[in-house]
A and B are shown apart, each in its own frame.
Chain A
Amino acid sequence: MSTATAQKTSFAAVIWDYLTTVDHKKIGKLYLYGGGFFFLLGGLEAMIIRIQLIKPENNFISAGLYNEMITMHGTTMIFFAAMPLLIGLMNAVMPLQIGARDVAFPFLNALGFWLFLFGGIMLNVSWLTGAPDAGWTSYTPLSTLSPGHGVDYYVLGLQISGAGTLMGGINFLVTIVNMRAPGMTYMRMPLFTWTTFVVSVLILFAFPALTVGLFLLMFDRMFDSAFFDVALGGNSIIWQHLFWIFGHPEVYILILPAFGIFSEIFATFSRKRLFGYTAMVFATILIAFLGFMVWAHHMFTVGMGPVANSIFAIATMAIAVPTGIKIFNWLLTLWGGNITINSAMLWSLGFIPSFTIGGMTGVMVATSVADYQYHDSYFVVAHFHYVIVGGVVFGILAALHYWWPIMFRRILNEKLGKLAFWTFFIGFHLTFFIQHFLGLMGMPRRYWVFLEDQGLELGNLISTIGAFFMAFGVIVFLYNAIYVWFKGEPAPQDPWDGRTLEWAVASPVPHYNFKQLPLVRGLDALWIEKMEGNGKLTPAEPVGDIHMPNGSILPFLMSVGFFIAGFGFIYQTQTNFAYIFLFGGMALALLCMLIRSLKDDHGYHIHKEELEKEAE
């Protein structure tokens, strides 16, 4: 069954293949499709928000629907667009970068994807009955008192997808520790692999706090517990702490992979070794460490007192130091380099000033005294969009242009790429730069309307026009992807004259990645062979049998089980009938786990003779 898979081409066979796949490359693509879909949904929600705010006292959507829009926009973009797109890139590229044939737990990898997808669907099913409306932070008691089932969908959707993310994190950690190719020491790993590693640590230690927070919220809403019920001695601040103990590391979970991506792209297209590699690695670790020490800077106005506020303010400002080290290292990588400017590089170059502005306003809001003025105003909205769009979204788009040849065997069209970049880049600054000033002028975030004659009209109009530019840029990118899929030529194996191992695998990438595991002789392993060898990697082993994991439908079924059980949890408050879904769904999920435990799964071998025959 090993090499015959390519022969099956019927539509049903392809669908079945993707439903049961445990191949990290296919799972990476699934993450990109899923994350891309939710990115478009979140973008649509953003456009509706901006249209509502195009003029004073607009009536485009109702106040209630507006609350649902901002909640769903934030939740969707963070959990179901940015994270899965990044995890998809990690899946597609990281095992190739360390010279591995797959991840450590291929089954778990598939399960992580399906849990993410069904969590996202769960959240969006809420549109049918009323979406969550308590903001993406879902502060209690607003979220505990929110009527209807909107917040219930938020809780269950995030709980299901969060479990998947946690599995993904553990999987990447074990893969990087145990499965690096011979010679690939830690300090020879490409920066994207390093950031994947550090981010996985963040996921591992941050997500359980959200898990607990969501459980408490779920128990309060669905099982009448009293964690946040002040009348019974509950305390709303617990939610804020748990949410931000997760939530602040979360922003580093988003931005650090983007830092890794830019490090790869700047080095490749400057045709220079990354400047200050060691400093980059340690800056990454330092940012991650400090990222756990600063959660309460989201809570300066809660009333923690001046001592706590000062400590968290100083810890927060300290993060600017390793981040600054990174910015200077990128600039010095460019310095004196033989620079190629293409779409991937444009997104990376656009990132530096955009992200630096976001970092600067970050230090401003970290100043706890001044934060009383900024808090909950459009200044904060502008700040986090500068870091998340200017950092993470730019990073994802840069990575897509850069690694598209490996993932989809096409090179994205440069003209369309540049058009998408410039419209999105200009639109982005139009949308969000003016929001700093709207915030300083007193416009609060999350309000449905603003009044006329307060000097807010022009700024909001400009902001909405900018949003349309961004939407246009995204549409051009999508058109580009579809265009090259049908009209593009197959990409060569190493179109950018790459430096790292992922550019050394054959095109299209065989499902076992490397016929022989490569011997790594230093940082930028492929570049070393290009400069000092014959341009090809030295094999570290003779051609031999390759062990491969079996595909399985169980991850999909297990996720369906949790998905069904989610509805049971939500509706058991109303009708006992829902217990059928609750117990039925859990039974299906647990049964799948039991089968997985009891049924031996040894995988299969691709034999040496088959590999030799393929080579002919």
Chain B
Amino acid sequence: MAHDHSLNPETMPHHPEKATLEGKNKFLGLWFFLGGETVLFASLFGTYLALKNSTAGGPTSEELFGLELVFLMTMLLLTSSLTSVYAMYHMKNNDFKKMQLWLGITGLLGVAFLACEIYEFYHYIHEYGFTFRSSAFGSAFYTLVGFHGGHVLFGLSWLAAIMIRNAKRGLNLYNAPKFNTFSLYWHFIDVVWVFIFTVVYLMGKVA
């Protein structure tokens, strides 16, 4: 390739993720995408708030939610955001192995979060008969939290794909933007969860 040299420079620039036009475009494009995602989740939050008391005689949020598990999930996801920051720190220092290590930890924390969520849904369905179809509250709850869970799942698949793909060849200016956009996306998922924790679980338990 004509510009293999430019993709594998002798010394990496300080911001390898934004050193090429493609990198700059990916960076900005992902920010815009997250803007759209904000509206998507805002619409889902709005729907949830409108329907959270429409339990149709089924279990209410106060009866359902247990803050212990949700607190654990919050800690898992917040920590995974922190570890992805470490990964990006090592990317900027051109330390590929450490970046992969921290990304791996990020992924494991994400998997643990997802496992908790699956357990939580299973628990609601089998212990309380609280399903997607039992009430408008159920539909809104599973849609909002499920959309977030789907985003986590997509993020984990994305992470696995770029980690495995680049495992042998190390960091260059072509894949650095990919790692960086993943990390931005992951932070966003984390922020959405903070709102879910507050609006769905805390307000559902207390308010």
Contact = CB atoms under 8 A, between A and B. Distances in A.
B50 interface: yes
Interface residues of A, number: 48
B2 interface: yes
Interface in B103-157: 132-140, 143
A226 B133 contact: yes
Interface stretch (A73-81, A229-237, A462-470, A524-532): A229-237
Q: Is the interface of B mostly helix, strand, loop or mixed?
A: helix
Contact of A227 (B1, B140, B161): B140
A208 B47 CA distance: 13
A594 B132 CA distance: 30
B206 interface: no
A89 interface: no
A297 to B, nearest CB: 19
B43 interface: yes
B79 interface: no
A220 B47 CA distance: 14
Contacts of B178: 597
A178 B134 CA distance: 49
Interface in B154-176: 158, 161-162, 165, 174
A213 interface: yes
A19 B144 CA distance: 37
Interface residues of B, number: 42
A170 B32 contact: yes
B101 interface: no
Interface in A151-194: 166, 169-171, 173-174, 177-179
Given A177-B28, A212-B43, A213-B43, A233 B55 contact: yes
A232 B54 contact: yes
Interface string B19-62: 00100110011001101110110011011001101111000000
A377 to B, nearest CB: 30
A173 B27 CA distance: 12
A598 B55 CA distance: 45
A173 B30 CA distance: 11
Given A105-B25, A211-B40, A605-B2, A225 B133 contact: yes
A125 interface: no
B73 to A, nearest CB: 23
Contacts of A223: 132-133
Nearest to B162: A597
Interface in B1-22: 1-3, 7, 21
A121 B37 CA distance: 27
A174 B29 contact: yes
Given A178-B28, A234-B51, A208 B43 contact: yes
Contacts of B24: 178
B143 A234 contact: no
Contacts of A235: 50-51, 54, 136
Interface string A211-224: 11101100110011
Contacts of A204: 32, 35-36, 39
A233 B57 CA distance: 9
Contacts of A209: 39-40, 43
Given A245-B43, A545-B2, A207 B135 contact: no
Given A207-B36, A594-B161, A600-B174, A225 B132 contact: yes
Contacts of A232: 54, 56, 134-136
B6 to A, nearest CB: 10
Given A597-B165, A600-B174, A227 B39 contact: no
B138 to A, nearest CB: 7
Contacts of B139: 219-220, 225-227, 234
Contacts of A216: 47, 143
Contacts of A171: 29
Kindly name the residue among B32, B35, B137, B178 whose own CB sees the greatest number of chain A CB atoms within 10 A.
B32
Given A178-B25, A235-B50, A597-B162, A219 B35 contact: no
A174 B29 CA distance: 6
A547 B170 CA distance: 24
A146 to B, nearest CB: 19
13 contacts: A104-B25, A170-B33, A170-B36, A174-B25, A205-B39, A207-B36, A225-B138, A226-B136, A227-B47, A227-B51, A227-B139, A238-B46, A238-B47
Given A212-B47, A238-B46, 8 more contacts: A170-B32, A178-B21, A207-B36, A208-B40, A225-B138, A235-B51, A597-B162, A602-B1
The 9 residue pairs across chains A and B that have the minimum distance between CB atoms: A233-B54, A225-B139, A212-B43, A233-B136, A208-B40, A208-B39, A234-B136, A104-B25, A233-B56
